[in-house]
Structures are given as structure tokens and as C-alpha cells.
Amino acid sequence: MKILVDADACPVVSIVEYVASKYRIPVILLCDTNHVLQSAYSEVKVIEAGARQTHETFYHSNFSNCNFLKVQYFLQIFDW
């Protein structure tokens, strides 16, 4: 399992990374060139800036063995 986060201006990236690291779940942060992130835990994929470009990449990605769920549901699953 991997966790993909549409991380452009996402206020809970650090919480997702904390919970994911606790359970050793890899995280991929997707952001555009206007919101370049750095992470010690997650893999960061930078997408060209454009209207909804990160959203489109996220929803149309072909990552195998990935579970897609909203961050709030992820945090509820792990009692955060």
C-alpha cells in the first residue's frame, strides 16, 4: 500500500507522514511547481503548474497497489 497526497496547500501533510511512518506505509506527495515541498519521509513528485494539474495527475495516475481515500478518512481510520 502507498498513500498519495494531493499536497498543494494541504494542512495535514505532517500528520499523514507521522501516522504513515508509524505503520511504515510509503507516502507520495504530489505538488505543482508553485508549491514545491521537501520531506524527510515522503517521496515528492513535482507536477508542472497549471489549473488543476496536480488534481488531474492524482486522479488519473496509474500507481499500482495504491489506496485512494480522502485524508480525513485516513486520519479517522488511525484514530487521529
Give the whole-angstrom CA distance, residue 8 versus residue 37: 9
Task: Output DSSP code: residue 33.
Answer: T
Q: Residue 11: give the domain boundaries.
A: 3-77
Give the count of domains, the chain.
1
How would residue 34 be classed by pLDDT, with cut points 50, 70 and 90?
confident
Bridge partners for 67 per DSSP: none
C-alpha torsion 45→7→59→62, nearest 10: 30
**Does position 40 have pLDDT exceeding 90, yes or no?**
yes
Cell 515528492, residue?
44
Task: Output DSSP code: residue 47.
Answer: E
**Does position 68 have pLDDT exceeding 60, yes or no?**
no
